[in-house]
Structure 1
Amino acid sequence: MNIELLKDIVDYGIIGLLGVMSFMTFWFWIERILFFKGVNVNNFETKEELELVLTNNVNIISTFGSNAPYIGLLGTVFGIIITFYAMGQSDALDAKMIMTSLALALKATAMGLIVAIPAIVFYNHLARKIEVVLAHWDMKEKAKHAN
């Protein structure tokens, strides 16, 4: 197999996967924000029912945030392996080619972090919103039992 083709497959595969994860993270965050705007705790009979509805899709954001750096690192490792393989197949060592290949391999890790950092921020933002809505449930229940 051609080394350039293998490099392109790894590059576009990892960056593409991280791009999809980034899009889905943003999509689910926006979906949850819009959902929270219309939540009325009075429409739920139990706290568990409310909690199930509130936490829908939030775990996906957390999963993407925690795994994106690993996927980026995997792309970097594959890029370094391909670079070493190309160096081993070459008769002459070209420092420019080696440094360029290693620098390009590191972009996968950078992309993984670019996906992970906002995902964790989005997750924490939603976790706080969930806590607030559940606190409103508790206050409603306390007021109902006080009367």
Structure 2
Amino acid sequence: MESLKMAVDYGIIWLLALLSVIALACAIERLYVYQRISIRDFREKRALELELTRKLHVIATIGSNAPYLGLLGTVMGIMLTFHTMGTEGFMDTNKIMVGLALALKATAVGLFVAIPSVTLYNLLLRRTKVLLIQWELAHGREGSQLH
């Protein structure tokens, strides 16, 4: 069961930390692209849209899955606590509280990764929509019209 404790402490929490860095790096890269992009360089709206939405799915995926990874860590931490309680019989409440704190730490880290990731995704998506509308206005088009 010590390996389960290590998996929660180091595996899941470090994975969430890595995903947080990846989401932040993608968001910074996208902001840089949005500042440098010239919508006049694109003749087709679809080509602009492809360039603007590149890597946004990575941020969205991290934001939507981080809480589940945190929940997985929570379940594993609670399983570890119950296993320890079952094998040792009567347990000191301090050991129980430490096990539950470990479990809740994973949930907190999952939310700590998810909330900024989803926020960044929404802000970048809004910026993408603004740039696409600016392209339409600059090119005198209403976007995709059905005939």
TM-score normalised per structure 2:
0.92
1:85 maps to which residue?
83
Residues 4 and 76, structure 2, Cα contact 8 Å, conserved in 1: no
TM-score normalised per structure 1:
0.92
CA distance in 1, matches of 2:89, 2:121: 50
CA distance in 2, matches of 1:6, 1:116: 23
Match runs of 1:1-147 below 5 Å: 3-142=1-140
Residues 8 and 106, structure 2, Cα contact 8 Å, conserved in 1: no
Q: CA deviation at 1:45?
A: 1.6
CA distance in 2, matches of 1:9, 1:66: 21
CA distance in 2, matches of 1:37, 1:132: 12
Q: CA deviation at 1:87?
A: 0.7
* Deviating more after overlay: 3-12 vs 71-80: 3-12
Q: Pairwise CA RMSD of aligned residues?
A: 1.1
User: Aligned with 2:140: secondary structure?
Assistant: helix
CA distance in 1, matches of 2:91, 2:50: 58
Q: Percent identity of the aligned residues? A: 48
Query: May I ask how many residue pairs the two structures share in their alignment?
Result: 141
* Deviating more after overlay: 60-69 vs 3-12: 3-12
